[in-house]
Structure 1
Amino acid sequence: MADKQQLIDMGFAPERVDWALRATRGKGIQEAMDHLVEHSEEPVPPAEEQAQGADAAGEDEGLARIGDTANSIKCTECGKQFRNQAYAQFHAEKSGHTDFEESTEEIKPLTEEERKARLDEMRSKLAEKRAKQALLDKEEARANELIRRKAGKETLDAREELKRKEAEKDAARKLQEKMADIAAKERVRAQIEADKHERAEKVRLEKLKREGKLDETAPVSALAAAPSVPRASGAGANAKESRLRVRLNTGEMWSGSLDADSGTLRDVEQKVIADGKSQGPKLELSTTFPRRIFTEEEKGRTLRELGLVPNAALEASATQ
């Protein structure tokens, strides 16, 4: 454990220290350092392979002839020399080389100066490698941050676009409601004005009748001169329905709505009779302002064609 900690304190990675100690079978810090220096450029093999490399010395066919008295082991295929069988076995597994021979040439241990120079070189390479890795990590972090910001901006833009569309829909809905409200108020105002003129005209006619001043043409001329009900423009003129109010000469009242383009005056007549407002089979329908009596032929025309849109007040009396 002391050798391991000392090597770690020198700057070697713990996994490489473990590999070196296992490969040299704990022979000492010198052998471990030599292993670290010689294999500094190689990746650390898995623990299973490390154990196999340390335990299988002498089992390979190419290593079978190597004796215990050899000063070194040489790979005849590539010419590399190794300090012991463990290193040679590891080389055989990694390179696939099988032809080894013992050598009387001794691998001289590094001097203190050589070891120090080698360590300085390794530390310099390690520092350079770490600096490159730090730069790569920084670039990767920057790229990830740009991706995150872009994704966040796209999400924010999508939310803003959704809010904008919702606001436009809400504004259009409110405008439509406002226009419909204005049109409805205009229809009510026009109807009130028509009712006011109608009542005033009836009072005038009744007064003339009581005074004996009423002739047959007076109501027609007077009513013709009375102001007509204003026709709604814009949204009112394009209304889909017509709201109708029918006053019978019996005092009964009927009101309802019909489709402006498919409903006819005959439909109105039938609805009034169906509701029990009149006992006669037919009705004479007319408007008060201006005075107009609708013919049987006109009863077959639509309410829009007769100018009874968006609303109208009619007079009715039963006929045979």
Structure 2
Amino acid sequence: MPSDLEQLIDMGFEQERAALAVKQTGGLQGAIDWLDKNQDKSIEEIKEAQVQASDEAPELKAGEEAKSLVCDDCGRRLKSVAQAEWHASKTGHENFSESTEEIKPLTEEEKAAKLEELKLKLQDKRAAQAEQDKIDRKKNEQIRLKATKESQDIKEELQKKERLKEAQAKKREKQDEIDARKKVLAKLEADKLARKQKADAEKAQRAGQAPPVVAEEKFATSSGPTTSKPASAYTETRLALQTPSGRITKTFPVETTLFEVAHALTEDGLEVNSFTQNFPKKVYDRTDFGMTLKEAGLFPSAALVLK
């Protein structure tokens, strides 16, 4: 036959709570009553109440007959001295009083009804807990989805800013190339005009005529845009570099030597033996690498071919 504790565990009660009920009451009937009374309390609350309980049982009046015993330490009612001794051995409680309240045993039907009632209450409690767990899981999922969406929004915003930054950089690079091209065209026009003036002057000399007068305003206009500030005001130069794999643009301080530029390009996997400027035509080989970009006249921008 299963023990009282095993019967309670088979009914679905937690082992610790069931063991505590048997320990406090000494039998199945008392354990059932105890579990019913304490079903809404946690194990910690029950243990704390046992430690703090100190209510004394009322004394018997004259002519009253003791029909049960009360543990003054925890308030537990016991049917007999044997039960009181058992209770004392299990709990260490030492103070007991007599009581006129008779503890009647439950009939088998009452016991079965009590057990069924406890089962139903336990089922209801578990169902309520399951529903609460479902609500908690739903809330946690909503919190997780919200956090995921916020994280995705931040990621998309960062990507948008990065795309905008790249677009602005490409726009600046394109404008720099346009400006460099205009400067080269202006220089070509100025050189063409200078050659024409030189040819006209030589022709006039051969013919014994006075050289033609050159209008300074026209020369200034034809030679393209003049530098709006002195050379000493420039601190950086922008180089458009034509490599075997394509065109790249880099910015260096004007005091950077051609050797330092070549060394910086090795980080891009490029080995440079010379720099060639198409117009005016100029080749800077390794013997020129000691020159700074400023000394070479490669500022505020220049186009070079790497070889």
TM-score by length of 1: 0.55
Q: Secondary structure at the match of 2:213?
A: helix
* 1:209-288 alignment runs, 5 A limit: 209-212=205-208, 214-215=209-210, 219-220=212-213, 228-229=221-222, 231-232=224-225, 241=229, 257=231, 259=233
Matching residue's letter, 1:37: D
1:165 equivalent to 2:164? Answer no
Structure 1: tracts of 5 or more residues without a match? 90-97, 243-256, 261-309, 312-320
Distance in 1, Cα, partners of 2:147 & 2:203:
84
Q: What is the CA–CA distance in structure 2 between the aligned matches of 1:61 and 1:42, rounded to whole Å?
A: 20
Deviation, structure 1 residue 259 = 4.7
Equivalent residue, structure 1, for 2:107? 111
1:62 aligns with 2:56: yes
Q: Hey, what does 1:129 align to over in structure 2?
A: 125
Shift of residue 202 of structure 1? 0.7
Residue 110 of structure 1: how far off its partner (Å): 1.5
Partner SS for 1:32: helix
Q: 2:163 is aligned with what amino acid? A: A
Which structure 1 residue ranges, 4+ long, deviate > 2 Å from structure 2? 27-53, 60-66, 69-75, 80-86, 98-101, 221-228, 239-242, 257-260
Q: Give the Å deviation of 1:108.
A: 1.6
CA-atom RMSD in angstroms = 4.2
Q: Which runs of 5+ in 2 are unaligned?
A: 88-94, 235-299, 302-307
Equivalent pair of 2:66/2:98 in contact (CA under 8 Å) = no
Asked whether the 8 Å contact 1:74–1:100 carries over to 2, the reply is yes
Match of 2:240 in 1: none
CA distance in 2, matches of 1:102, 1:189: 119
Query: What is the number of residues matched between the two proteins?
Result: 218
- Whichever residue aligns with residue 82 of structure 1, its letter is R
Structure 1 residues 43 and 71, CA gap change in structure 2 (3 angstroms): farther
CA shift, 1:29, in A, is: 2.8
Q: Is the 8 A contact 1:73 1:83 kept in 2?
A: yes
What is the identity, as a one-letter code, of the residue corresponding to 1:180? D
Cα deviation, residue 138, structure 1: 1.3
Q: 1:198 to 1:134 in 2, by over 3 A?
A: same
**Matched residues in 2 for 1:22 and 1:49: separation?**
16
Q: Which moved more, 1:35-44 or 1:198-207?
A: 35-44
Where 1:107 maps in the other structure, the secondary structure is coil
2:189·2:222 contact (CA, 8 Å) conserved in 1? yes
Q: Deviations over 1:172-220 (max 9, x none)?
A: 12211210111111011111111012112211220221122x23xx511
Which structure has the greater CA radius of gyration? Answer: 1
* Contact preservation (8 Å) 1:71, 1:83: no
Structure 1 residues 40 and 208, CA gap change in structure 2 (3 angstroms): closer
Residues 65 and 224 of structure 1: CA distance in aligned 2, closer, same or farther (over 3 Å): closer
Corresponding residue of 1:102: 99
Aligned AA for 2:153?
Answer: D
Q: What is the percent sequence identity of the aligned residues?
A: 39
CA distance in 2, matches of 1:140, 1:240: 71
Secondary structure at the aligned position of 2:56 is classed as helix
Per-residue deviation, 1:65: 5.7
The secondary structure found in structure 1 opposite 2:212 is: helix
Deviation at 1:28, TM superposition (A): 3.3
Contact 2:190 2:219 in 1 (8 A): no
Matched position secondary structure for 2:110:
helix
* Preserved CA contact (<8 Å) 1:23 1:50: no
**Which residue, out of 82, 88, 113, partners 2:77?**
82
Shift of 1:62: 2.8
